[in-house]
Structure 1
Amino acid sequence: MANRENFVAPKRYNTIAIALIAIGILSTITLYITAGSKDDPHQQARFWGSLLQNSVYFLLVVNAAMFFICATTLAWGGWQMAFRRVPEAISACVPVVGVIAGAILLSICFSSNHEIYHWTDSAHVAHDPTLDHKKGFLNKGFFATVTVLTIVLWSLLGWKMRKLSRSLDENPIPTVEGRKKYMWNNTIWAALFMIVFALTVMSSIPWLWLMSIDAHWYSTMYSWYTFASTFVAGMALIALFVVFLKNNGYLEHTNTEHLHDIGKFMFAFSIFWTYLWFSQFMLIWYANIPEETVYFKPRAQGEFSGVFWLMFIINFIAPILILMSRDSKRNYAVISIMAVLILFGHWLDFFQMVFPSPMTDPKTGVTHVPNILYDLGIALGFVGVIMFATGRALSKAPLVAKNHPFMKESLIHHT
């Protein structure tokens, strides 16, 4: 075990990560030249919409890894300890992706282009009763303050949880009372993270960053829907790194029992996401209230209908058919393929959440689907950033938290 206790990133791994980052930068530059640099605000929105979609999606996905750590910590669960350093390393990406996402969000908010966030146009708000009614919440000052505070708190609390975990690597706790105190300290900090998470991801942040793109639309389920989408994608990302490390001879104590439980999370939250998707869609469509159905018209029946139903097939039909059986959740190849599908499917979900409004020409009222290849290229850039940052985080600490009080529970875990 001594030789495989610390991760050393293969040269090919870093080469792929850097190549993906290069593809992302090239795609961003190309999209800026073809759309972002134009004088037409509608074309500029094409560029900023892509940056918004990708940065917010991947930020919420990597932050979901710390949610998983804190949720299992509060439950005093030990089964995940054999691979806990994987979600810890993924969560270390939050400050990196958070800076990128924060810069993009603030640039959109304070720019002179109001095609994405209509509520940033004070003249328009003054003549729009709905936006005027929401201006206490939808205003630049509140948006900037909450955005910066949220990213900082996610980063700091995540750092504290990782620090607590790594503090035992060289300093095992010899007494029972000391272990109890350590677990209580972990529980307190995990609870603080969960409070912040509840006040942001599960409520205000999706309203500000995403739902306010369609500021006339209402949905009380939107934040939970966004959470479910990014949490299942976060579990898929954890699964990919676990399989990658296992295939390279690491994570000796992680076995098919642990992979099975990760697969359960992927399956269960795919169903939970579908429940929220159907509840939101069915209730709004059935009520047939114009203020609500305006959101789903271009998605379910308009130009984005192909993307809308494709992501439903990927995010629900595929998991329920493939991940239902016990054997499929214990198969490295199946889990890996499904993890990639889930990450892509929920990326498509965010694509159709962001683009219909900015891609509606204000002069003609015509909505069109942008060339998705640019967006995929930028997405690959974020994948490269996450690969590189996670690899660095994995190499800075032992891959097994062997001195954790609950490590034994993980070693004997059986599902």
Structure 2
Amino acid sequence: MASREFFEIPKRYKTWSTGLMGVGVLSVIIAFIAYGRGEHPQLFWGALLQNSAFFLLVVNTAMFFICATTLAMGGWQMSFRRVTEAISTAVAPIGIITGVVLLCLVFVPGTHVYHWLHPEGDAILEGKKGFLNVPFYTIWSVLTIVLWYALGRKMRQISRSLDNNPLPDVEAGRKYIFKNTVWASLFIAWFGLTVMSTIPWFWLMSIDAHWYSTMYSWYTFASTFVSGMALIALFVIFMKNQGYLEYTNHEHLHDLGKFMFAFSIFWTYLWFSQYMLIWYANIPEETVYFKSRISAQGHKGGAYSGIFWFSFIINFLAPLLILMRRGSKRNYTTMVFMAVVIIIGHWLDFYQMVFASIDPEHVNLGMLLLDFGIAAGFVGIILNSTGNAMSKHPLIARNHPFIKESIIHHT
């Protein structure tokens, strides 16, 4: 057995993950005392919703990436697949937190996030009661998170089943690939029914229950997918710097950079399409969404216009100008910088998606600082879950039929 086959968690790694989780817990406590029981409880609950939804969708992207490449019969990613699998284990703790937050939003009185909870006298909200109602919201949200975890766990079990049980012949390899493909298909189908359609409507778009966009779910998916690819790149580079993943090279990093670049452009396409169509149509019930994000009165900037345009710049222009070059996608420093920029940029985009709807008049700087603290807590959870998973299982899928393809991978 190779000496670097299992991840040995460094002391500093443990310290950082524990410290960040501590910052998160402390931020939640302070935010609850300052805002949760005051005149603006929606700020506290909005911060929890924004962070839990964003980070859950980001870590769940790791399993989507595994299943998508499985269905594509791709083998290039096998050399770092165990890192991606480890990231997906964070779906369990973050999923529990998200589930609790979502249930509180509909069952705890006075959260003031979802106005559709009280549709009485509002013809538009009453017309949407068939979809926006507490039983459907609750059952679908819980079922979504549970199946994300269960199907992801099954995919990890199938992957690890070969660690100590080599495939005896070609026919066994075919059966293994078929089984892997079936379970990957189930995950992709459920992912499509949730992330690419209903869940962003429920959790985020329904904050503005009078407004809707047919592109919203794809927009959310693009945002969290590119952030997920950036997260994978960060862990791969970290592991390489620690002396692990000897079969992962600049070719693999280059391909991760391609995903980061391509989906930054895809996100921008959806951003522009959604904005342009609403601007061109100039229908009041649609343009109201951009009132606090771009213009409040006349030609004056909205309260969130700075964050809105800043997130656009760092989510589009930065990847376009920096990641377009081949060398940038092969440079560790540049990739780390861009991965961090992309994650922060899309976190800020989620911030304006939530807070510009629940508190459209102004940006509360105190809550924004606490929001960063809460985000740090979720980062700590991801570090802890991923590190523990990598330390318990081999970092190389030794007996997988496609591992050779990844070792000799060249673009």
Measured against the shorter chain, the TM-score band is over 0.9
TM-score between the two structures when normalised by the length of structure 2: 0.97
The structural deviation recorded for 1:175 is 0.3
Match of residue 2 from structure 1 = 2
Structure 1 segment 4-403 matched on structure 2, within 5 A: 4-38=4-38, 40=39, 43-113=40-110, 115-121=112-118, 125-301=119-295, 302-360=302-360, 366-371=361-366, 372-403=368-399
Instruction: Report SS of the residue matched to 1:284.
Output: helix
TM-score in terms of structure 1 length: 0.96
Provide the residue aligned with 2:298 in structure 1. none
SS across alignment from 2:68: helix
Q: Which amino acid aligns with 1:37?
A: R
1:174 deviates by 1.8
> Per-residue CA shift, 1:328-387, capped at 9, x if unaligned?
000000000100000000000100000112114xxxxx4444431110000000000100
Would you say the 8 A contact 2:212–2:286 is kept in 1?
A: yes
Conserved? CA contact 1:83–1:399, under 8 Å: yes
Looking at structure 2, the residues matched to 114 and 328 of structure 1 have their Cα atoms a distance apart, in angstroms, of 45
CA distance in 1, matches of 2:364, 2:186: 41
Deviation at 1:402, TM superposition (A): 1.4
Q: Tell me the amino acid that sits aligned with residue 67 of structure 1.
A: F
Verify the 8 A CA contact 2:397 2:403 in the aligned structure 1.
yes
Deviations 1:73-131 (A, max 9, x none): 0000000000000110000110110000010011011121252100112xxx1211110
Contact 1:14/1:388 (<8 A) preserved: yes
Distance 2:93 2:330 in 1: 32
Residues 51 and 104 of structure 1 are in contact (CA less than 8 Å); yes or no, is this contact kept in structure 2?
yes
8 A Cα contact 1:304 1:369, kept in partner? no
Distance (whole Å) between structure 2 residues aligned to residue 320 and residue 358 of structure 1? 32
CA deviation after TM superposition for structure 1 residue 136, in Å: 0.6
Cα RMSD after superposing both structures: 0.9
Note the residue ranges of structure 2 that are not aligned, 5 or more in a row.
296-301
Native 8 Å contact 2:229 2:259 kept in 1? yes
CA contact (8 A) 1:114 1:120 kept: no
CA contact under 8 A between 1:37 and 1:44: conserved in structure 2? Answer: yes
CA separation in 2, counterparts of 1:29 and 1:142? 30
Output one character per residue of 1:305-341: Cα deviation in whole Å (capped at 9) or x when no partner: 0000010011000000000000000000000010000
C-alpha separation between the residues in 1 aligned to 2:83 and 2:313? 29
Q: Does 1:411 align with 2:410?
A: no
Letter in 2 for 1:170: N
Moved more, 154-163 or 24-33: 24-33
Q: Distance in 2 between matches of 1:333 and 1:19?
A: 24
Task: Note the alpha carbon deviations across 1:56-89, whole angstroms, 9 max, x for none.
Answer: 0000000000000000000000000000001100
Amino acid at match of 2:70: T
The answer on whether the counterparts of 2:90 and 2:382 sit within 8 Å (CA) in structure 1 is: yes
SS of the residue aligned with 1:204? helix
The residue identity in structure 1 corresponding to 2:381 is V
Give the Cα–Cα distance (whole angstroms) in 2 for the partners of residues 300 and 397 of structure 1. 48
Amino acid at match of 2:16: I
CA contact (8 A) 2:41 2:111 kept: no
Give the unaligned 5+ runs of structure 1: 361-365
Look up the equivalent residue of 1:304 and give its one-letter code: Y
Distance in 1 between residues matched to 2:195 and 2:214, nearest whole Å: 13
